[in-house]
Structure 1
Amino acid sequence: MPGYALRLQGEALEALGSGALWWPGPRVLVVSDLHLGRSGRFARRGGALLPPYETEATLERLEAEVSARNPARVICLGDSFDDDAAAGELAEAHRDWLLRMMAGRDWIWITGNHDPGPGGLAGSLRADVQIGPLVFRHNAEPGATGEVSGHYHPKARLAGRLRPCFLTDANRVILPAFGTYTGGMDCRDPVFSGLLARPAMAILTGQQPIPFPL
């Protein structure tokens, strides 16, 4: 899937149509907010009954990017599971699927507000991680520079339809949720005005990423 080229702190990045971020120099693939096990959490807590296919759909999309990019390192920016129990309830087939993707790679799980950890899976668990001039964390911090984060599931409206998007300015990139069955926050929400400096842009995901100024 094609990507939109952008720069952060002098580093060349690509906002991919899938919602993943690719840093080709050190071969780092970044995804955020997989929310694996969301349908199970809803059912467990008496919420809406969702078709239980989101984990498979999300893993298929993640595997497609891992296969296409062959990253040396994968960073999952938090909320990889929808809650603590979801990690423990991961089907054996899905756990094996993840482990095959992780094999031979430096895989970093960033803690989120939904999941403090990856439920015994391999890889390293971090609150945040600094690589060169970039810092990766779940929730954006005001005033940060070179920051890559997730959490908000940003979306932008085009032709009357809200679509997941990246948000970026000179200091940061906020990733869309990579997982299936994830809602989102309109990019016009006031929370983003406290994080993004002008000029800022949204990059809509899809077959062809579409940038437009905020």
Structure 2
Amino acid sequence: MNNLRFTFCDMALMAMPSGALFLPEEAVLCVSDLHLGKSDRIARRSGRMLPPYEVQETLSKLEADILECAPQMVICLGDSFDDLEAANALTEDMQLWLARLQAGRRWVWIEGNHDPGPVDLGGAHMGEITVGTLAFRHIATGAPAEVSGHYHPKHRVAGRSRPAFLYDAQRLIMPAYGTYTGGLASHTADLRKLFDAPPMAIMTGRKAIAVPTA
């Protein structure tokens, strides 16, 4: 089994190698920072062309996680699109793919700083949502029992850096899920100031592995 089960704020969670978080008792799957349409946004704003396959790769990964977990609800934890124009520019094939993933389950788009308004792609648009003891929002506020994204944390072990979940007793920060997303090292001040003590990291990749950051 490549997933890692752990407990956070009295909730049973499962970190997946893909960077998704599953709440098995609530049948909720959470992913953060998909940044769909990033190649479109970069081309539109800078003229620099990137291979336009990140939407397909990210949705393929999400589809595999949905098939594995069979969630009743999917939470996209903000910055699901690289901007609102990128959301509107999704091809019809990609829109239909999203519709198939949404079928038969509740789908929640959490507001992010890249996508601060509603998108016409099905699902509900919310600023935050509470599931059990946990509050899901895009940017950490310092409140207890908080799951957030935004920072794209990465952790390095033995010279290799991987996207990672970071968590302590009261807050959990999700890794970026999207194909064309960078990352912020776990030791940087912007991340460390969010935690009362050095957090645990769960590194993604072939297997979800927990390691201390101290």
The answer to whether TM tops 0.5 is: yes
Contact 2:135 2:147 in 1 (8 A): yes
Measured in 2, the distance between the counterparts of 1:160 and 1:131 equals: 37
Q: Which moved more, 1:46-55 or 1:90-99?
A: 46-55
- Paired position in structure 1 for 2:53: 53
Measured in 2, the distance between the counterparts of 1:48 and 1:109 equals: 28
The alignment partner of 1:45 has SS state of: helix
Measured in 1, the distance between the counterparts of 2:174 and 2:43 equals: 27
- How much has 1:48 moved relative to structure 2? 3.4
Measured in 2, the distance between the counterparts of 1:188 and 1:154 equals: 9
Question: Which runs of 5 or more residues in structure 2 are unaligned?
Answer: none
Counterpart of 2:62, as a letter, is L
Measured in 2, the distance between the counterparts of 1:2 and 1:212 equals: 15
Correspondence list, 1:114-133, <5 A: 114-133=114-133
Q: What whole-Å deviation, never above 9, does each CA across 1:180-202 have from its counterpart, x for those lacking one?
A: 01001000011122211225211
Contact 1:87 1:118 in 2 (8 A): no
Is 1:2 the counterpart of 2:15? The answer is: no
- Paired position in structure 2 for 1:62: 62
- Paired position in structure 1 for 2:144: 145
Q: Which moved more, 1:101-110 or 1:46-55?
A: 46-55
Correspondence list, 1:1-214, <5 A: 2-142=2-142, 144-198=143-197, 200-214=199-213
Contact 2:192 2:198 in 1 (8 A): no
Question: Which runs of 5 or more residues in structure 1 are unaligned?
Answer: none
Contact 1:9 1:170 in 2 (8 A): yes
Contact 1:167 1:201 in 2 (8 A): yes
Counterpart of 1:84, as a letter, is L
Contact 1:81 1:118 in 2 (8 A): no
Question: Aligned in 2, Cα 1:28/1:147: closer, same or farther, shift over 3 Å?
Answer: same
The alignment partner of 1:108 has SS state of: strand
- How much has 1:47 moved relative to structure 2? 5.0
Contact 2:73 2:106 in 1 (8 A): yes
Using the size of structure 2 for normalisation, the TM-score is: 0.96
How many residue pairs match? The answer is: 213
The alignment partner of 2:39 has SS state of: helix
Tell me the C-alpha RMSD between the 2 structures: 1.2
Moved over 6 A (4+): none
Measured in 2, the distance between the counterparts of 1:9 and 1:156 equals: 23
- How much has 1:58 moved relative to structure 2? 0.1
- How much has 1:174 moved relative to structure 2? 0.5
Measured in 1, the distance between the counterparts of 2:63 and 2:116 equals: 23
- How much has 1:157 moved relative to structure 2? 1.1
Counterpart of 2:170, as a letter, is N
The alignment partner of 1:212 has SS state of: strand
